[in-house]
DNA sequence: CCTGGTAATCAAAACGTTTTGATTTTGATA
DNA sequence: TATCAAAATCAAAACGTTTTGATTACCAGG
């Protein structure tokens, strides 16, 4: 490894001069600058970020905690976030939590050890992770994404509105009996989408709709099993308003599994039963039938999250500096601790998987 | 931040004693050990990995360069790799190359700055990236995954065999005219799968098969467009052995797009045309019709890649140490520079998307 | 009762940077 | 020509660790 010392020696200047050439924090004469640059080039010098981080107390990296990268929703989110972070000079340390609180705690500790400047966190469970709250208490800037946690800053989509648009659509088509397959019960995304759905159905003129609720995981297998379980219970053999004529899945993966199961039950989508998803991942446009879903602006969500996190990081650093400068007196209490929640709009994408209910 | 110094002071011992308690490299008396541990606990001390890395010259982190996380194939690979790395005490820095050589070079430089111990690299183009080769030349251990690069160590699946199994299957079903939709022309995975396909067809008794070749990108849109383009050229209107009765896609994404297009052309899969994919990502089991594909053991590939990389890293470190110890004489030339290539087996998964060709 | 090895501890150097105070040089102004 | 500020440079401290002699205390073997 060639170090800044080697460069200094090669250029015949002091170490600090090389540093100043690189950072531009102090004026350097043109001839010296050129000599230094030449030496850097010639020796292939690359500053050691560990050393930089040690003195600057900032690693210029973010921790990304995500439940399940195999899910393309999280995949594209992670991709967009990494790109946004890279654009602003930050690296991303990937952590696969698998929704396991133990793993999360483990990762959090590692990330703090690595002096990350901030955390991008996808919650996957209802109760906020203890270790996360400790990290927040320890002063690490955090932005929560996708799933709301009340007193933490975050970026989300308007899940209620998405649900409402679905509800209106289905009501207008004439559906009076729905099966809602949620993710984990009580999770804000699930609850908001469901409440939105109810509101939309009401707006669509269906005052009283038969709404069957099931909860579980955000996975294809869950959608698949719920449908089969319902079938075993005779749900789809019922008549009149007892029989659901549409399945509303809380996300696209669940819908995918449900679609598979419906097909195995010889229920044609959308002829015998409509189906909707949520998130709008790429494959929903490609499958047969193409899936009616609510599209999240994933890139915008990801960018907004990184943006917000970097803002917080800067604020945090300034705060620390100010504290250090004026440690003897507290001139004014901290400004109102507003917790920013960015909410982005969603778009209903109507595709082949919905139709009026069968009449019989 | 509480540092090792604070702990030392609190426990009434020297800094090096604390370090030895933590590392176990020198004996420490039980009472002292307990006092130190208590202080660590009480102060919530967490060693600063930047500082550790600076002195140990190892950041205990790996760079992961992946073309496109939105693709669930790469998503699950990345997930499995991160988990394997984490299990062995390494963190993963995520880099989204998007197949852009400029971005790759950029990331590589950043990763070297960050003193990563090794690189996990998914090549996406035929010509190996210049910057990557420079990194290798600079002595950074690299393991290439999925796509072969001849003189770099790597982990791959038996693409030829996968192609062959598909060929045998289709030949046995009676197909005599196929459309192969590849990824980028010349890419080893594409070529191997195609050559395997040919071999399989021959083995299956179809000495001469009409094989129409198209190349492009590993994306759904590519499969979609190729099918439509072929239709415009009248490929599917041809008669006899001119008309392909099966479409072999070089991966699942292409197959997904092709399926969509075939459906738009009113060609039923598999009645009018069979279809196969490659990789075996989760959704292939869920779509309609479920997709016949070649399953990669992604977790095993990922684990093997991490394993191999860590081996190389250790070897590299020992090598450096030995060099330093015995710098005056070269006792023996380096052992034969064997480039390990781990090849893992694939599994043909036959599902609904294939059938005998229509007879007419 | 000495000898030597090991256990236990400490002090100091090193890792590669940035930052800061001090010093010298330069150029313009009075 | 003397003065002063700004420009240009350097030396040294600091960041939080690990590693490595060096030192002391202890105990067993002769």
Cα dihedral A225, A229, A234, A238 sign: negative
Nearest CB to B54: which of A51, A59, A61?
A51
Please enumerate in sequence order all residues whose Cβ is within 8 A of that of B250, keeping only pairs 6 or more positions apart, or say none: B180, B181, B182, B183, B189, B190, B193, B194, B218, B278
Rounded-to-integer distance, Cα B199 and Cα B9, Å: 72
Rounded to whole angstroms, the distance from the CA of residue B42 to the C1' of nucleotide C30 is 65
- Output the pLDDT for position A75: 97
Q: Which of residues 30-69 of A touch strand D (CB under 7 A)?
A: 30-33, 51, 54-55, 57
Q: Running along chain A, 360 residues long, what does each successive block of 10 average in pLDDT? A: 94 95 93 95 96 96 96 96 97 96 95 97 88 92 95 96 97 95 96 97 82 95 97 88 93 96 95 97 93 97 97 85 52 67 98 91
Straight-line distance from CA A53 to C1' C13, in Å?
21
Q: Which residues of chain A (1-30) touch nucleic strand D at CB < 7 A? A: 12-17, 20, 26-30
Question: For residues A332 and A329, what is the distance between their CA atoms, to the nearest angstrom?
Answer: 9
Confirm if A288 and A266 have CB atoms less than 8 A apart: no
Chain B residues closer than 8 Å to A76 by CB:
69-70
How far apart are the C-alpha atoms of A80 and B115, rounded to whole Å? 24
pLDDT digits (tens, 9 = 90+) for B227-251: 999 999 999 988 777 899 999 999 9
The nucleotide closest to B23 (CA, C1' atoms): D18
Residues in chain B: 360
What's this model's pTM, rounded to 2 decimal places?
A: 0.94
Query: What distance in Å separates residue B30's CA from the closest CA in chain A?
Result: 26
**pLDDT value of residue B333:** 54
**Burial class for A214, CB neighbours closer than 10 Å (0-12, 13-18, 19+):** buried
Q: What is the pLDDT of residue A327?
A: 45
- Test A50 with B114 for CB contact under 8 angstroms: yes
What's residue A323's pLDDT?
Answer: 59
Domains of chain A and any CATH numbers: 4-47 (1.10.260.40), 57-152+298-344 (3.40.50.2300), 159-296 (3.40.50.2300)
- Say which of B47, B51, B257 has its CB closest to residue A54: B51
Per-residue model confidence as pLDDT tens digits over B288-317:
999 999 999 999 999 999 999 999 999 888
Say whether A115 and B70 touch across the interface (CB within 8 A). no
Nucleotide nearest to A16 (CA to C1'): D10
A268-322 pLDDT, tens per residue? 999 999 999 999 999 999 999 999 999 999 999 999 999 999 999 998 887 766 6
Q: Is B100 helix (H, G, I), strand (E, B) or coil?
A: coil
Q: Is the pLDDT of residue B325 over 80?
A: no
Residues of chain B neighbouring A48 (CB-CB closer than 8 A): 54, 113, 115
Residues of B in contact with A67 (CB under 8 A): none
For tokens 């430089």, what's the residue?
B109
Q: Using the CB atom, is residue A5 less than 7 Å from strand C?
A: yes
A113, B46: Cβ pair inside 8 Å? yes
Nucleotide in closest CA–C1' contact with A28: D8
CB contact under 8 A, B93 and A94: yes
Mean pLDDT for chain B overall = 92
pLDDT digits (tens, 9 = 90+) for A328-342: 444 455 556 788 999
Contact check, Cβ <8 Å, A70/B82? no
Distances in whole angstroms, Cα of residue A70 to Cα of each of A74, A237, A257, A351: 8, 35, 15, 25
In the prediction, which pLDDT does B195 show? 97
User: In percent, how much of chain B has pLDDT > 90?
Assistant: 85
B95: closest chain A residue by CA: A82
From the CA of B48, how many Å to the C1' of D14? 16
CA–CA separation, A325 and B13 (whole Å): 32
Mutate to test the interface with B, among A22, A48, A56 (most CBs of B within 10 A): A48
Look at residue B252 and tell me whether its pLDDT is greater than 70.
yes
Provide, in whole angstroms, the distance separating residue A56's CA from nucleotide D3's C1': 39
pLDDT in tens, A153-166: 999 999 999 999 99
């Amino acid at each position: 490894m060639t170090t800044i010392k080697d460069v200094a020696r090669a250029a015949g200047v002091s170490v600090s001069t090389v540093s100043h050439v690189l950072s531009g924090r102090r004026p350097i004469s043109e001839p010296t600058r050129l000599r230094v640059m030449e030496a850097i080039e010639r020796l292939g010098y690359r500053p050691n970020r560990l050393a930089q981080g040690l003195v600057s107390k900032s690693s210029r990296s973010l921790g990304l905690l995500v439940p399940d990268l195999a899910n393309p929703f999280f995949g594209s989110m992670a991709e967009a976030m990494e790109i946004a972070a890279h654009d602003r000079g930050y690296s991303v340390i990937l952590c696969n939590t698998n929704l396991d609180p133990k793993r999360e705690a483990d990762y959090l500790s590692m990330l703090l050890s690595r002096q990350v400047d901030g955390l991008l966190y996808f919650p996957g469970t209802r109760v906020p992770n203890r270790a996360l709250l400790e990290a927040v208490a320890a002063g690490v800037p955090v932005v929560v994404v996708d799933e709301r946690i009340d007193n933490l800053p975050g970026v989300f989509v308007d899940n209620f509105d998405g649900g409402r648009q679905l509800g209106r659509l289905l009501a207008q088509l004439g559906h009076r009996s729905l099966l809602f397959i949620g993710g984990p019960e009580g999770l804000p995304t699930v609850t908001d989408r469901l409440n939105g759905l109810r509101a939309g159905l009401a707006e669509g003129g269906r005052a009283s709709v038969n709404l069957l609720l099931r909860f579980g995981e955000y996975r294809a297998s869950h959608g698949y099993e719920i449908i089969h379980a319902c079938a075993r219970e005779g749900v789809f053999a019922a008549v009149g308003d007892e029989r659901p004529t549409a399945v509303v899945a809380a996300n696209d993966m669940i819908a995918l599994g449900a679609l598979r199961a419906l097909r195995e039950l010889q229920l044609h989508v959308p002829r015998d039963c409509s189906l909707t998803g949520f998130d709008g991942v790429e494959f929903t446009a490609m499958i047969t039938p193409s899936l009616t879903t609510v599209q999240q602006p994933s890139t915008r969500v990801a960018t907004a999250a990184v943006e917000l996190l970097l803002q917080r990081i800067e604020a945090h650093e300034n705060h620390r500096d100010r504290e250090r400068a004026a440690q003897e007196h507290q001139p004014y209490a901290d400004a109102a601790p507003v917790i920013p929640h960015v909410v982005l709009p969603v778009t209903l994408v109507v595709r082949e998987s919905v139709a009026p209910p069968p009449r019989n």
